[in-house]
């Protein structure tokens, strides 16, 4: 009896999921024209520093590339999957694109998160797979 009830419940759950997936998506007719706040947020995004780390997945040495504004204090924080900080690297505040090598060969293989910190506040966080 218990197995039969489980089979029925799983069947009902699957049919509900399939019916939700099959529902038509309706387009919203109200399209907002671009406003000054939209363009301001887009320009703010273009001025925000960007960080990339390559190659990903990596083995040992990685290149850190950052587009930044002068006069700001930047740091790269590397954390393990548990959130423990394993490395912090100060990035030189020079205008334009800056690339610098970072040696991670002493860290064990696994998944890490790298964050760009600007004035001790996290700007962005991305994932890195290390295959040492």
* Per-residue pLDDT reduced to its tens digit, 27-70: 454 555 555 555 555 555 556 788 999 999 999 999 999 887 77
State the pLDDT at residue 66. Answer: 86
- Give the tokens for residue 11: 């069947």
pTM over 0.85, yes/no: no
State the pLDDT at residue 21. Answer: 47
104: Cβ contacts below 8 Å, ≥ 6 apart = 58, 60, 61, 62, 78, 87, 130, 132
Strand pairing report for 121-130 and 85-91: unpaired
Confidence of residue 8 (pLDDT cuts 50, 70, 90): low
């Amino acid at each position: 009896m218990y197995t039969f009830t489980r089979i029925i419940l799983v069947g009902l759950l699957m049919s509900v999921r399939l019916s939700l997936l099959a529902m038509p998506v309706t387009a919203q007719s109200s399209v907002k024209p671009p406003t000054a706040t939209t363009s301001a947020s887009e320009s703010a995004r273009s001025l925000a520093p960007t960080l990339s780390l390559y190659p990903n997945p990596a083995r040992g040495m990685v290149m850190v590339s950052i587009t930044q504004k002068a006069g700001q204090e930047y740091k790269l924080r590397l954390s393990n999957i548990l959130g423990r900080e394993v490395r912090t690297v100060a990035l030189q505040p020079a205008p334009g694109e800056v690339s610098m090598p970072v040696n991670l060969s002493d860290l064990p293989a696994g998944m890490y998160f790298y964050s760009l910190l600007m004035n001790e506040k996290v700007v962005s966080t991305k994932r890195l797979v290390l295959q040492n």
